Amino acid sequence: MSSSALKTFPGGLHPPDSKQATAGKPIELSPLPVELILPLSQHIGAPAEACVEVGEFVLKGQMIGRAKGFVSVPIHASTSGEVIAVEPRIHPSGRLLPSIVIKPDGEESWCELFPADPEKLTAAELIERILQAGIVGMGGATFPTHVKLSPPDDKPIDTLILNGVECEPFLTADHRLMLEAPKQILAGINILRKILQVEKTWIGIEANKPDAIALLQELCAGTGIEVVPLAVKYPQGAEKQLILALTGREVPSGSLPMEVGVVVQNVATAAAIATAVIEGKPLVDRVGTISGPLIKKPKNLRFHCGTPLQHLVDLCGGIEHPPAKILAGGPMMGQTQLTLEAPATRGTSGLLLFAKEDLPLRPQTPCIRCGRCVQVCPAGLLPTTIAAYVRLDLIEAAEQTSAMDCIECGCCSYSCPAAIPLVQSLRQAKGMILEKRRGA
Amino acid sequence: MSEPVYISSSPHIDSGATTSKIMRNVIYSLLPACAMAIYLFGLPGLRTLLLCTLGCMMFEALCNKLGGKPGTLSDGSAALTGILLALNLPPGSPWWLALLGAAIAIVIGKQIYGGLGYNPFNPALVARVVLLISFPVQMTIWAAPTPFSTGFDAVTAATPLGEWKTAVMLTGKLPENLSAGTLNYLTGNMPGSLGEVSALALLLGGLYLLVRKVITWHIPVSFIGTTLLLSGIFWLVDPTRYPDPLFHFLTGGLLLGAFFMATDMVTSPITTKGMLIFGIGCGVLTVLIRLFGGYPEGVSFAILLMNAVTPLIDRFVKPRVFGTMQEVKG
Amino acid sequence: MLASIVTLGLIGLLAACALGFAAKKFHVEIDPREQALLDILPGANCGACGYPGCAGYAKGVVASGSIADICPPGGQTVMQKVAKIMDLAPVTANPQISVVICQGDNKKAVQKYNYLGLTDCRAAQKLADGPKTCPAGCLGLGTCAMICPFGAIEMTPDSLAVIDRKKCTGCGKCVKACPRFVIKLTPLDATTHVLCNSHDKGALVRKYCQVGCIACQICKKTAPGAYEIENMLASVVYDQHREADQAVDKCPTHCIRNFASGYPDGSRFAAPTVPIKKTKAA
């Protein structure tokens, strides 16, 4: 297959994929850490509300935080044990946020589970189960899944897309999951198809995972699910870019995918949905890639939500020097962490550790207008122009230059020879525009 | 206590491209042309090259010092400006002309606007044009190429473009031996400014820039393409008066301008569509100036004029923002 | 020669006529008071009055016929002139001045992490609540200095914002821009301030800052009326600020400063200083 024949999107670039360290490594199970820190905010939207008290004994899968509002999900104990604290703890965002701390008893005793046959449930019942299981988008955005599955009536959905692209360098968790649990993913897809009643289902996978493509193509034969290899290009896994590549539909500026009748779900989310609906188990663990130049034995680990990052590092051979940069997620869009004491949560698709030598620490120099940021921007923006407006505090001009259409993929900063923090400028612009809109 | 961790906004890796790497690559790409210049014009050529390059670096350092700014010599842009300036000067330029050019390029062409990234015009071309207008005599004494020349035996001659222009002005006809020199034009065996003479060396450098992805094809292709097309039309209309496109392609500063001067990132549009418009504009202006203007050569003026239009192009030519087309439902 | 002179002359004449015609044709009638107001306003277009720039203010005042919105940079003098032009009773502007209530520069306060990115406090604050361990101290990236329309804020070599009391007009733009709320508008004549913004307990403050308020009560004991301690942070009771000076030398962490005897360390502003605008002007 020639690469020119593969579907893709305009813009983007090819960062070194750095996946070889873990792509061939089967998922290992992480043993229990000494304590689990479960933030009440592990998703986008309103934080859950704690419904257990210090000293209480909880079972694995028991709800310990109640969803608060529509765009919110409950939080569950990821193992059995004693609640030893309900207090602000360091969160992956770097802030101190309310968390429930559990000291595991080592038994992993599940609470009472209610397995079900998805065939016998209605769409509404399925969505309710997904909400109660606390399922969120596991690609990293952690948007509550039940919200995505409940589009308003005037937005008919005809297409379901499963995102198995995993275009972030280093990360191989989805790749391994597709290889090791394809049936579970398919079961999840079938549940999603039943809920959405779609005509067409695609699984998009970057062509650098031929084994996963072949396996899923074989399993999907005759099911009406089409597995499509996509060009290897970052950010192929960005929602709107993926929709364009697969369906040719372009999500209008400022709208959600449902505007063009599409729902996109990550393959790991599909697997979590299957577990939640069929086995009745809520989202209490996930697979993440622990890698980066400082990690001695990079691995794909299935860990309990709330596991301190230090525990994951220890499982991968520990580190000799303190890391200069700790990343939760991939290197293009991941979040820097203040400390390894922070927990891995439902959205932690990877943990990457870098030494100082691995970091781009060049000082910023003046823009030479080379236009690289413009050429790679998948959203068709003028990043350097918007950054200049931000520097001059011209927020209205930034808004008129379509700053709100930025998807924060990082291509502009990645390619900038002057080391200008373009994405951060765009984030700043977006934040200030939203602030202004709220004020107006 | 160990050093605190680094916290930053994503992304956390970069492509490794830096401004100084870009500048260094452009300098490397000019080495064949420089070598040819030294071979063809000998010591005077070498002297001009050194004076311009060192002069530009010196004035850059001076401006940094006076402005209390951190040193910017290491980004290589001043050295590059110097080399480009030298390649745009007549081989036997007196020392003061070269140094004055360096001062104009760096001080007036670049630093008064705020330094690298803020100058609206290509600094080397600003210097060349100011010198051309101020010192028309010195700027049009063209030494005929004499390999390994020491400078004492220089013979002056007219550039092919100049020869043609004079002939057309006097007789209204092309000079007779004009297309006889194609092979000479390719290797650079013709009078002209230091860097413009060897088409082969310039093409080699341009290819290097394209392969190393320092520049994109848009400006050189549209610039040269437009020049060939337009000059071709005139040639077809009246081949006795207008020279053929190959002559336009190989003589004068077209290749030097299209690959190395028009592609100067600071002074050309940032969008690919804008680059195409820029290149076409340069091509049209070059042909018009060459065929109908007072000067035999139009590349410098064409590029400078298009530099002036660049902010306008950038204002109106923007990429289409994702999701903003007329709705076409699939 | 003659031809060119005539041609150029004609072109000039034509252009002059066109300009004159345009000026007459497109003349816009404005209230003379608007122009009068514009003439006396400071012209900094800072927006502190709530209107977009001085012209906006002049227009707004004339349109509404009220001078309830005051011009803070103009102060009493300007407001009296405004009242005169509008033929209204003068509205008193309480002269104010901005103060950065922090002295924790990079040498005195602990950095939580190495920040890489935009030189903008607002951007840095979004990453793990800013690079300083102190949750309320000055981040030192100079957003206030960039935004100040009067060029009254300088950043010291160790990255602390310091406000020039001679240049500050009290427009309050920096107060709104600071993501850590470390800049306060204070009465112009009060020169003694507690330069700390952290409400953390003393023991914790000591861990991350050499010049933080530890709520030790000494200032309050020294000058009882002039200080109040709320939520582990002392502040000057500005009605009583004249007595506040007595406690300056008593503060164990030196976080109380009388600006009349000098600016924080590293500032290049000349000390001692007094505000330019007198409280009882005109």
Q: Say yes or no: A393 contacts chain C, CB-CB below 8 A.
A: yes
- If asked whether residues A239 and A189 sit together in one domain, one would say yes
- If asked whether residues A320 and A411 sit together in one domain, one would say no
Cis, bond preceding B123 (omega within 30 deg of 0):
no
- If asked whether residues A255 and A170 sit together in one domain, one would say yes
Helix axes C32-40, C53-64, angle to 10 degrees: 130
Q: How do residues B167-206 score in pLDDT, each as one tens digit?
A: 877 877 777 666 557 777 777 778 888 888 888 999 999 9
Q: How do residues A83-110 score in pLDDT, each as one tens digit?
A: 999 999 999 999 999 999 999 999 999 9
Q: Could you tell me the fold of the domain covering C32-86?
A: 3-methyladenine DNA Glycosylase II; Chain A, domain 3 (1.10.15)
CA distance B224 to C275: 65
**Which among A338, A424, A432 is the nearest to C118, CB-wise?**
A424
pLDDT at B153: 59
pLDDT at A2: 44
- Give me the interface pTM, i.e. the ipTM: 0.88
CA distance B69 to B85: 24
- Residues of A within 8 A of C128 (CB-CB) are 93-95, 336, 338
Those chains having 3 or more beta-carbon pairs within 8 angstroms of chain A are B, C
Q: Rounded to a whole number, what is the distance in Å from the CA of A281 to chain C's nearest CA?
A: 33
- Helices within A31-164 (DSSP H only): 123-132, 145-148
Q: Is the pLDDT of residue C86 over 80?
A: yes
- If asked whether residues B118 and B169 sit together in one domain, one would say no
- If asked whether residues A273 and A140 sit together in one domain, one would say yes
pLDDT at C30: 78
A431 → chain C, closest CA residue = C123
Q: Is the pLDDT of residue C176 over 60?
A: yes
CB atoms B6 and C113 under 8 Å: yes
Cα end-to-end span (Å), chain C: 63
Structure tokens of A7?
């579907």
User: Across chain B, what does the average pLDDT equal?
Assistant: 89
* CATH number where A148 lies: 3.40.50.11540
- Residues of C within 8 A of B8 (CB-CB) are 115-117, 127
Number of domains observed in the structure of chain A:
3
Residue B56 vs residues B48, B99, B169, B205: alpha-carbon distances, Å? 12, 8, 38, 22
Q: How do residues C8-18 score in pLDDT, each as one tens digit?
A: 999 999 999 99
- If asked whether residues B246 and B189 sit together in one domain, one would say yes
* CATH number where A44 lies: 3.10.20.600
**Would you call A298 helix, strand, or coil by DSSP?**
coil
User: Across chain C, what does the average pLDDT equal?
Assistant: 87
**pTM (two decimals):** 0.89
- Segment C219-239 shows an average pLDDT of 91
Instruction: Identify the domain containing residue A385 by its residue range.
Output: 372-439
Residue C151 vs residues A107, C46, C154, C166, C179: alpha-carbon distances, Å? 65, 12, 8, 11, 19
- Residues of A within 8 A of B267 (CB-CB) are 369
User: What residues in chain B have their Cβ under 8 A from chain C's Cβ atoms?
Assistant: 3-9
Does some domain include residue A414? yes
CB atoms B4 and C127 under 8 Å: no
Structure tokens of C274?
């007094």
Look at residues A302, A327, A358 and tell me which one is the last residue of a structural domain.
A358
CB atoms A421 and C147 under 8 Å: no
Does some domain include residue B171? yes
- If asked whether residues A245 and A148 sit together in one domain, one would say yes
Any residues with CB less than 8 A from the CB of A4 and at least 6 apart, and which? none
Look at residues A279, A310, A327 and tell me which one is the last residue of a structural domain.
A279
Beta bridge partners of residue A161, listed in sequence order? A202, A264
CA distance C232 to C230: 6
**Which among B5, B271, B330 is the nearest to A247, CB-wise?**
B330
Residue C146 vs residues B316, C119, C140, C178: alpha-carbon distances, Å? 30, 10, 12, 11
- Per-residue pLDDT band for B164 (boundaries 50, 70, 90) equals confident
CB atoms A380 and B10 under 8 Å: no
Q: Could you tell me the fold of the domain covering C96-261?
A: Alpha-Beta Plaits (3.30.70)
- DSSP string across A371-400: -HHHHH-TT---HHHHHHHHHTT-HHHHHH
Q: Is the pLDDT of residue B327 over 60?
A: no
C122 → chain A, closest CA residue = A428
CB atoms B268 and A417 under 8 Å: no
Probe site for chain B from C110, C112, C113, C134 (most B CB atoms < 10 A) = C113
**Which among A359, A382, A423 is the nearest to B9, CB-wise?**
A423
CA distance B237 to B58: 50
Using only C-alpha atoms, what is the Rg of chain C? Answer: 25
- If asked whether residues B225 and B78 sit together in one domain, one would say no
**Residue A343 DSSP label:** B
- DSSP string across B14-35: -----HHHHHHHHHHHHHHHHH
> Phi then psi for B114, rounded to 5 degrees?
115, 10
- If asked whether residues A153 and A266 sit together in one domain, one would say yes
- DSSP string across chain C: -HHHHHHHHHHHHHHHHHHHHHHHHT-----HHHHHHHHHS------TTSSSHHHHHHHHHHHHT---S--TTTHHHHHHHHHHHHT-PPPPP--EEEEE-----TTTB-BSSEEES-S-HHHHHTTTT-SBSSSSS---S-HHHHH-TT--EEE-TTS-EEE-TTT-----HHHHH-TT--EEEEETT--EEE-----S-HHHHHHHBTT-----SHHHHHSTTTEEEETTEEEE-GGGHHHHGGGTTT-TT--EEEGGG-PSTT--S-SS---SS-TT--
Structure tokens of B117?
């990234």
pLDDT at C265: 85
CA distance B268 to A215: 49
- If asked whether residues B199 and B132 sit together in one domain, one would say no
- If asked whether residues A324 and A394 sit together in one domain, one would say no
B96 in Cβ contact with B120 (< 8 Å): no
- If asked whether residues B73 and B179 sit together in one domain, one would say no
Does some domain include residue A93? yes
Q: Rounded to a whole number, what is the distance in Å from the CA of B8 to chain C's nearest CA?
A: 5
C273 in Cβ contact with C165 (< 8 Å): yes
Q: How do residues C125-174 score in pLDDT, each as one tens digit?
A: 999 999 999 999 999 999 999 999 999 999 999 999 999 988 898 888 99
**Which among A336, A361, A428 is the nearest to C118, CB-wise?**
A428
Look at residues A358, A389, A423 and tell me which one is the last residue of a structural domain.
A358
- Residues of A within 8 A of C123 (CB-CB) are 424-425, 427-428
Does some domain include residue A201? yes
Number of domains observed in the structure of chain B:
2
- Per-residue pLDDT band for C38 (boundaries 50, 70, 90) equals confident
Q: Is the pLDDT of residue C214 over 90?
A: yes
- Per-residue pLDDT band for C276 (boundaries 50, 70, 90) equals very low
C172 in Cβ contact with C185 (< 8 Å): yes
User: E strands along A137-224, which residues?
Assistant: 159-163, 200-206
CA distance A273 to A280: 9
Domain ranges of chain C: 32-86, 96-261
B6 in Cβ contact with A334 (< 8 Å): no
Does some domain include residue A151? yes
- If asked whether residues A143 and A273 sit together in one domain, one would say yes
Instruction: Identify the domain containing residue B279 by its residue range.
Output: 158-316
Q: Which stretches of chain A score pLDDT less than 70?
A: 1-4, 440
- Per-residue pLDDT band for B209 (boundaries 50, 70, 90) equals very high
**Which among A359, A361, A421 is the nearest to C118, CB-wise?**
A421
CA distance A303 to A315: 11
Does some domain include residue A24? no
Those chains having 3 or more beta-carbon pairs within 8 angstroms of chain B are A, C
**Residue A308 DSSP label:** B
Percent of chain B with pLDDT over 70: 94
Does some domain include residue B27? yes
Higher per-residue pLDDT: A115 or C281: A115
The per-residue b/e assignment along A175-184, b for 16 or more CB within 10 angstroms, e otherwise, is bbbbbbbbeb
